[in-house]
A and B are shown apart, each in its own frame.
Chain A
Amino acid sequence: MARRSVTKAHKKIQELSWDPTFVEKDPKYKTDYVLTKGSQKDPMKQVMQSYFTMQEEKDHRVYGAVDGAVRGNMWRQVQPRWMEWQKLFLSIIPFPEISAARAMPLLTEAVPNTEIHNGLALQMIDEVRHSTIQMNLKREYMKNYIDPAGFDITEKAFSNNYAGTIGRQFGEGFITGDAITACNIYLQVVAETAFTNTLFVAMPSEAAANGDYLLPTVFLSVQSDESRHMNNGYGTLLMALANDENKDLLERDLIYSLWNQHAVVDAAIGVFIEYGTKDRRKDRESYAEMWRRWYYDDYYRSYLVPLEKYGLKVPHEVVEEGWNRIWNKGYVHKVAQFFATGWPVNYWRIDPMTEEDFEWFEHKYPGWYDEYGKWWEHYSSLSEPNGHKPIAFEDTGYVYPHRCWSCMVPCLIREDTVFDFVDGQWRTYCHEYCHWTDTVAFRDTYKGRPTPAMGKMTGKREWETLYHGWDLADIQRDLGYVRDDGKTLVPQPHVLFDEKKMWTTDNTKGIEFQSPNILLNQMSDEEREKHMAEYKAGFTINTSY
């Protein structure tokens, strides 16, 4: 369909909508925002007739590349270090994608602009595409990569793992609570406009550098759909900005969304890119450099800040604090260290860092070795089972962290940890903003105004609580992270494919697992104050263990 005729066709399909008269519209999904019918347009001007055929052609290219990768034995050159992290990443990401599809009716119910509804309908179809095309990519990895364990249990593992839960909030945040908070600000304005750049552009580049050209094929095809979604979000955001009553809610939702997604997405993607790669060229961009380019310059300065002239209150301090955590406080490195500490309850392998890695980290993040080098040396020497315990249970000096009640990433920047008695229990938070998210944002009122549509935090938010007092080997069996011989573990602290070097439940039985939050709640006030003071003071890694 020629472009000019698409414009005409798009104008024509606007005739399809009408205002019901037999019923008084009772929206299924609610918002506390006040939106009045606006004249915002859908600049993408797609109709189904041009859309389906365009997408079919994109699919042909993707599946052609899949065939090429299989026929060309791509897996002879992929880096196991990289592929192992895909067991985590690709277990998580199809759920946020399908959640984005499920989120669209929240907006069709809440946004009084039928032209935008058409854009949302296309987005729904895109998102089903993204979820199932990613599941199919993972299926190819499972069938063709040397170690399929972890891919084979993917959606089960995503459901019962602490890291899966961290990632899951990225999807659950799209589909619950206030329709505008969830689907417009959290999903379209922040997740899609900001973080898909690191997710779907930075990640493919690193995949290609590690011999994997299928992930770029799939994810850059996915990313080519995102511009439509950003436009959907922009139109609705302008409608919200048109009413002064929404200013406080916009401020609340931007703080929550920018902070939460920094905490969650930077944790995951930062680790995949920095610790999942074998490409240690000094001139390749670090995650911090990518973040500066894709997030700070392209999103924050070029998209968000210009909206101030329309009255949007941009929480600059939240963006700057995200950068402060990445650059000055070692957020990504601390998350990687935690993931590696927790390897026995993962469903992927984590390769030890080598001298070449150390040199690169020191070059990109001066001072890295002094803070993390010795611990990674311990990790390396403890990676093969030689009568010792997994590193988390050896005395390296590392203190197993408390978990943040809001973002559920542990409180890894120890000095920033907040603890508070909330809703009848002691909770820990990784930062003041996460404390604010639970105690101020996700509540029935905000700045004195009722917010009856706002969502609620639910569930068993500290994963460790589920297994307090359990034997480690029993936990692994309960999770299903044991291979088909009944004893060899799915996770391994290395990428060696020699069965003699692989850990089994024989190596992990007799080790008791504990929940820091349960212990915290069992302490007296005095013990708790002392404990948290010590926790916030941090730890020193022993030179030997």
Chain B
Amino acid sequence: MTEEKAITEAAGRGTRSIPPIRLTDAEAGAAEFAGSGSRTYNYFEPKGRRATKYEDVTVDVQPDPDKYLTQGWILGWPNGDLGYDASWTSIKSSNWHEFRDPNEEWEKTYYVNNSNSVRQITQSIENAKSENVFQYWNKSWLPMLAKHVSAWSHVDHGLGMYVFMPAQRAAMSNMLNNAIAVNCMHKLRTAQDIMLYNLEISEIFSEDEFDPTIHQEVWMNDPSWQGVRENVERIINAKDWAETTFAANIILEPLVGELFRSQFAMRFAPLHGDSLTGSVIGVSEREFNERDLRYTKEMFRVFGEDEVHGEENRQLMQEWLARWTPYSVAAAKGLAPIWSEPEVKPVSFDDSYEGVKSRFQGVLDDLQLQLPKEVTL
């Protein structure tokens, strides 16, 4: 029997050296002294009675010269802009730190949520494959998937990669930027969800039945899609992070995104025997409605109700509505011809568009905004 070594001595086998374990009694409550009970982050005001974990891991990680950053930003831009500069948006705020993401997203939640979305789509496709439901699909529907449903992936990719990714660099607090970053993740993932769905279908049907790359040609040249592409490209090229978030989530998504996803893809597919596409597209529709639109409305509610700049901000949002709504209206109306393409037509474009118009009006009402007189939906 080997002799037991005291736990406080390092002991290895042979020449191995291992660090000693020393019992230090350094756990909470082992001694009482000034500050020994101070066990919450105390440098910010939580929104509720107690700080949430989301607030604890997010608030003030991006510092602010108007708060505690006494030496200021120490590296800046060649034109004199600061590391984070309020001039990067026309929105003004008396407190950039007021906004809290109603979805309370931080790393643990976004991995769980996105993984659940991935699993939902993967399992739907696996179930469909195991039952070979594709044999019941109306073949005339396949070009709709190849051309139009797949073309929507470019919208999500463009918004994710070139609108929300730059926007999450630029906002004036960590809470704003993190919420936008999670939006960016959703869009990048849903773009790939659609592309990989395209890949799955291409492995089931022949290329004559389903052209897996025609979506690129449609996106670039099909007249029905050029309004959508123009709208996306113009948002990509705009520089004001709040304006691009507004143009994408308050205008483009309700008027065009929901029109295409809810009114076209999810309504037309089942009547062609396709019970799968709705499951795939429905995930991104839910993420937009339940998460991305939710944080965006809260963000612009806070800006619009700012005690000093609220009036001015609402006026600015009115100007943005006047600038961007015509592009989204043109994009939506440009899609009208695709409503005529499927063999079975459960709804007319006009009825579909009526639905999203009232939905869009509801979003504006929530933000106490009015459709500008010069804009016709």
Contacts and interface: CB of A to CB of B under 8 A. Distances in A.
B176 to A, nearest CB: 12
Contacts of A455: 75-78
B75 A78 contact: no
A20 B237 CA distance: 10
B184 A156 contact: no
Contacts of A459: 71-75
A305 interface: no
Interface string A1-38: 00000001100110111101111011011000000000
Given A16-B192, A80-B26, A175-B169, A48 B60 contact: no
B81 to A, nearest CB: 9
B71 A460 contact: yes
Contact of B165 (A104, A169, A454): A104
Given A77-B21, A155-B41, A52 B189 contact: yes
A139 B57 contact: yes
Contact of A153 (B42, B121, B168): B42
Interface stretch (B106-114, B284-292, B338-346, B365-373): B106-114
B270 to A, nearest CB: 24
Contacts of A499: 33-34
B61 interface: yes
Interface in B168-217: 168-169, 174, 177-178, 181-182, 184-185, 188-189, 191-193, 195-196, 198-199, 213, 215-216
Contact of A26 (B64, B82, B237): B237
Contacts of B25: 76, 146
Contact of B28 (A143, A444, A454): A143
Interface in A96-118: 98, 101-106, 108-109, 117
A56 B115 contact: yes
Contact of A105 (B42, B115, B169): B169
A139 B78 contact: no
B58 A135 contact: yes
A531 interface: no
Given A124-B184, A128-B178, A175-B169, A159 B69 contact: yes
A455 B77 CA distance: 5
A121 B33 contact: no
Interface string B32-65: 0111111111110000000001001111111110
A466 B70 contact: yes
B17 A457 contact: no
B147 interface: no
A279 B19 contact: yes
A330 interface: no
A393 B111 CA distance: 51
A211 B18 CA distance: 12
B31 A77 contact: no
A482 to B, nearest CB: 9
Contacts of A94: 61
Interface in B89-131: 106-108, 110-112, 114-115, 118-119, 121-122
B322 interface: no
A425 to B, nearest CB: 16
B78 A456 contact: yes
Contact of B26 (A78, A135, A159, A498): A78
A236 B69 CA distance: 33
A78 B27 CA distance: 8
B157 A16 contact: yes
A103 B169 contact: yes
A152 B38 contact: yes
Contacts of B181: 101, 124-125, 128
A503 to B, nearest CB: 11
A98 B107 CA distance: 12
A208 B21 CA distance: 10
A109 B239 CA distance: 12
Contact of A483 (B38, B68, B162, B191): B38
Given A128-B107, A160-B70, A456-B76, A75 B26 contact: yes
Interface in A487-525: 487-488, 490, 497-499, 502
A159 B63 contact: yes
Interface in B135-171: 153-154, 157, 160-162, 165-166, 168-169
Contact of B40 (A79, A136, A147, A152): A152
Interface string B346-367: 0000000000000000000000
Nearest to A49: B118
B220 interface: yes
Interface residues of B, number: 101
Contacts of B157: 16-17
A166 to B, nearest CB: 10
B19 A208 contact: yes
Given A104-B165, A455-B75, A144 B154 contact: no
B305 interface: no
A99 to B, nearest CB: 8
Given A48-B189, A172-B74, A457-B74, A155 B111 contact: no
A458 B78 contact: no
B83 interface: yes
A148 B26 CA distance: 11
Contact of A102 (B34, B68, B168): B168
Given A59-B107, A121-B188, A135-B58, A458 B154 contact: no
A145 interface: yes
A18 B220 contact: yes
B233 A101 contact: no
Q: Which of A144, A148, A177, A483 has the most CB of B within 10 A?
A: A148
B30 interface: yes
Q: Which of A22, A104, A499, A502 has the most CB of B within 10 A?
A: A22
Contacts of B5: none
Contacts of B154: 16, 18
B22 interface: yes
A177 B22 contact: no
A15 B73 contact: no
Contact of A145 (B27, B185, B192, B233): B27
Contacts of A101: 168, 181
Nearest to A19: B220
A149 interface: yes
A490 B74 contact: no
A447 B228 CA distance: 46
B196 A98 contact: no
Given A23-B234, A159-B70, A177 B77 contact: yes
Contacts of B216: 15, 18
B115 A484 contact: no
Nearest to B177: A102
B122 to A, nearest CB: 7
B196 A47 contact: yes
B78 A454 contact: yes
Contact of A211 (B24, B30, B184): B24
A98 B74 contact: no
A135 B28 contact: no
A56 B20 CA distance: 34
A104 B82 CA distance: 18
A102 B58 CA distance: 14
B229 interface: yes
Contact of B71 (A12, A77, A154, A466): A466
A488 B198 contact: no
8 nearest CB pairs, A to B: A483-B35, A149-B35, A159-B68, A75-B27, A209-B19, A488-B34, A156-B43, A135-B57
10 contacts: A104-B165, A108-B161, A109-B166, A125-B185, A149-B38, A209-B19, A283-B17, A284-B17, A483-B34, A497-B33
Interface of A: 8-9, 12-13, 15-18, 20-23, 25-26, 28-29, 47-49, 52-53, 55-56, 59, 63, 73, 75-80, 83, 94-95, 98, 101-106, 108-109, 117, 121, 124-125, 128-129, 131-133, 135-136, 139, 142-149, 152-156, 158-160, 165, 168-169, 172-173, 175-177, 208-211, 278-279, 281, 283-284, 408, 444, 452-461, 463, 466, 480, 483-485, 487-488, 490, 497-499, 502
